[in-house]
Structure 1
Amino acid sequence: MKLLITAETYPPDVNGSAQFARRLAHGMLERGHEVHVAAPMPTSGPSRIMADRGVVEHRFRSHHAFTHPYFRICFPWEVAREVTRLFDELQPDVVHIQCHYILGRLVAREASRRGIRLIGTNHFIPENIEPFLPFPEWFIKGYRKVSWWDLGRVYGRCDVITAPTPLAVRTMVDNGVADRALAVSNGIDAGHYEAAEGEEIGRQDHPVVLFCGRLAVEKNVNELIEALALIPREKNVHAEIVGEGEQLDRLTALAHRLGVAERVHFLGFLTDEELRRAYLRADVFCQPGTAELQSLVTLEAMSASKPVVLANARALPHLADEGRNGYLFAPGNPGDLARKLQLVLDAPEEQRRAMGERSHQMVSQHSFARTLDRFESLYGGASR
């Protein structure tokens, strides 16, 4: 099949939606399909075609969203004709949109008008965007309502709608989107995060709590730093924080103010291999975010056989088998987070190993091969 995957955010952007879209594109390419991606240009300048190891990227002229560190917006009056021309030239068999914003809606409208099979996957919740909107609360509430209405309108054109988890599906329905979406996991290649036989990981001589993700408001990394300050200093627990984002300066200042700066390590952006080794050397993985529709980084940590301590919010409770692979903590409560981290770190080595093994077992249902099978079936005409 000739596939056109459309993403409003795509690498070099670093977020779960962008990473999934690229993994999907390359996964389908490896299965023998011809894969094209429509996405905003990552920099200023005219639209252009780029190549990424066999995947053809159609990058459309875009502009920096001034309130967001990297998100870029395509103006419809600049790209609408280019979208039409792309369909004229490409004539795809299937179109798969990842968002309902400007590029997604233009592509969905064009696919619908031409009778091309249209799949829509939703990674969006308003909480991902709201921290970047400099408006009063009454406006934010209105934006939230309109956003869900708009999503339902755009995705109403789709032959099939999916979301990463049953919770994400229910969230859409609860906010007025038609009750016909399917839960299809973003998937993960669990074997990639396992230690190779005989591999030396180089573990630290102190306990390590790991966080990976954008340093954004909704990730609540401040709660991890505050929890670290509540753990007795003699336990010498360190936090490794992987990722970049607009909250870095604030989080660095917080670590200094709480007297734990020497035990909080901001590692920035890591390569895939560096990230894999960060998972493997950690003692426990922590995700304090409250706007996760699935949390690929948590699945990656679980693939590396790590216990987890997760916020009891959104999709995260589905990834914690309480007391068996980790614990949930009350969002906004660093004291509870500190207690749950200590439950893991103070447990005997054998118990921590068993918790990690349970994490690894739980990830099996999120195989990326199964995800590709599912979407390939939907592309081919399946409705369930």
Structure 2
Amino acid sequence: MNGAARFTERLAEGLAARGHQVHVAAPSPTGRPDRQVVRGVTVHHIRSFRYPLYERFRVGSWWRGAALPLLDELRPDVVHLQAHFTVSRGFAAAATARGIPLVATNHLMIENVFDHLPVPRIARGPVTRLVWRDLGRVFGQASVVTTPTPRAVELLTAATGLQALAVSCGIDATGFRASSRRWEHVRSAPGWEPRVLFVGRLDPEKRVDELLRAFALLPRDLPARLEIVGRGSCSDSLRTMAEELGVGWRVDFRGVVTDAELEEAYGRSDVFCMPGVAELQSIVTLEAMATGRPVVAADAMALPHLVEPGRNGFLFTPGDVRGLAGHLETLLRDPELRRRMGAASEVLVSRHSQQATLERFEDIYDEVAHGRIVRLRRAA
């Protein structure tokens, strides 16, 4: 459950809705291989094994022999990789062996890897170089490599030498805007306590602890609530921290929610906060913007592509808890500023429509399937 998985799901379903035959190969959630059709997409669950260090994460088969029979059966025009580990590695080798063109999208941030691998800090430099070198070998087989933002392109090229195209993950804003309208009268009623919302995995790189500490610094005369949607390796420690900071009664931990419940969480929010420092784009920030919410985000990685300070929100220096608290207080005390910045968010997010993303990938698939792009050259 992460941004890459959500992007893959929406891309597959969006392409199927546009008349394409779409098959997704992914690790089996039970370990046993099977096949099912989900909302117009045929999902092939590859035999998998439990990863002991992270809940609900499974490692799929990576050898080429596991992928060849499926490619021979389906004879796809294009194989699109969403990672370079396990399942994608096997399909990259199999597609190359069968002469099927590859497209690859990078979602990797090395900080995310270290949260789930027991790598001592002294070894992280060499491991980082090893992981990027490995990604370069796998993605180097692709005709086109994409990644969500220009900042992500810079990171990938610097680490691997690969050229890449920036293609936004895209978003369908319809449901989020409808949720905002449903909550509009409630949020403007007397006695409403403005809500700050965070959505994402509760893992170290998301820096939710900084958000909790900043929320605890808000003046006591300022009525506000903090809503946290998601779960992860830090779930228990964050709950404990909220109690120790004396704000537990004002913090709602929602855990994992359905898509409909997520839209409602955005709808009843007043301010969205993304303190994470490892965002190649941040789909949840796009969703908050589509709902018409101002955003307070870390000045890190690709978040400055989404937040224009003073227009649709504020950026803060990672680790500057007081600065974060100041931005939250400014927005929580000023309903008109929230309305103006939220309207700007809706304008800015229009650059990231899901239809534009689907059309861009259709063009890329067409180019590589017909041999008009054979292989992008490595950067000098």
Task: Please indicate the TM-score interval, normalised by the length of the shorter structure.
Answer: over 0.9
Aligned to 1:188: 171
Q: Which digits, 9 at most, give the CA deviation of each residue in 1:26-76, with x for residues without a partner?
A: 1111111111111000123x2111221221111111112111222211243
Q: Which digits, 9 at most, give the CA deviation of each residue in 1:253-272, with x for residues without a partner?
A: 00011111001110111221
Q: CA deviation at 1:177?
A: 3.0
Matched to 2:332, the amino acid is: L
Q: How many residues align?
A: 366
Q: 1:327 and 2:314 equivalent?
A: yes
1:285 alignment partner, SS class: strand
Give unpaired runs (5+ residues) of structure 2: none
- Note closer, same or farther for the CA distance 1:197–1:262 as it changes in structure 2 (3 Å cut): closer
Matched to 1:119, the amino acid is: V
Q: Which digits, 9 at most, give the CA deviation of each residue in 1:5-33, with x for residues without a partner?
A: xxxxxxxxx21100111111111111111
Q: 1:33 and 2:20 equivalent?
A: yes
Task: Pick which of 298-307 and 338-347 moved more.
Answer: 338-347
Calculate percent identity across the aligned residue pairs. Answer: 47
- Note closer, same or farther for the CA distance 1:337–1:109 as it changes in structure 2 (3 Å cut): same
1:353 alignment partner, SS class: helix
Q: CA RMSD, aligned part only?
A: 1.6
Aligned to 1:126: 110
Residue of structure 2 aligned with 1:108, choices 92, 106, 113: 92
Q: CA deviation at 1:196?
A: 6.4
Aligned to 1:11: none
Q: What is the CA–CA distance in structure 1 between the aligned matches of 2:126 and 2:241, rounded to whole Å?
A: 32
Q: Which digits, 9 at most, give the CA deviation of each residue in 1:328-371, with x for residues without a partner?
A: 01111211110111121122x22221110000000011000000
Q: CA deviation at 1:82?
A: 2.5
Q: 1:74 and 2:57 equivalent?
A: no
**Conserved? CA contact 1:151–1:177, under 8 Å:** no
Q: What is the CA–CA distance in structure 2 between the aligned matches of 1:32 and 1:177, rounded to whole Å?
A: 35
Q: CA deviation at 1:276?
A: 1.1
Matched to 2:243, the amino acid is: H
Residue of structure 2 aligned with 1:236, choices 223, 229, 233: 223
Q: CA deviation at 1:95?
A: 0.6
- Note closer, same or farther for the CA distance 1:181–1:236 as it changes in structure 2 (3 Å cut): same
1:67 alignment partner, SS class: coil
**Conserved? CA contact 2:272–2:295, under 8 Å:** yes
TM alignment of 1:237-252, pairs within 5 A? 237-252=224-239
Q: What is the CA–CA distance in structure 2 between the aligned matches of 1:47 and 1:380, rounded to whole Å?
A: 31
TM alignment of 1:234-313, pairs within 5 A? 234-313=221-300
Aligned to 2:69: 85
Q: 1:152 and 2:136 equivalent?
A: yes
Q: CA deviation at 1:205?
A: 1.7
TM-score where L is the length of structure 1? 0.92
Q: What is the CA–CA distance in structure 1 between the aligned matches of 2:141 and 2:272, rounded to whole Å?
A: 39
Matched to 1:303, the amino acid is: A
**Conserved? CA contact 2:198–2:274, under 8 Å:** yes
Task: Pick which of 367-376 and 273-282 moved more.
Answer: 273-282
**Conserved? CA contact 1:96–1:120, under 8 Å:** yes
**Conserved? CA contact 1:149–1:177, under 8 Å:** no
Q: What is the CA–CA distance in structure 2 between the aligned matches of 1:215 and 1:198, rounded to whole Å?
A: 29
Q: What is the CA–CA distance in structure 2 between the aligned matches of 1:102 and 1:135, rounded to whole Å?
A: 19
Q: CA deviation at 1:190?
A: 1.6
- Larger RCO: Structure 1 or Structure 2 (Cα < 8 Å, ≥ 6 residues apart)? 2
Matched to 1:345, the amino acid is: L
TM alignment of 1:164-243, pairs within 5 A? 164-178=148-162, 180-195=163-178, 199-200=182-183, 202-203=186-187, 205-243=192-230
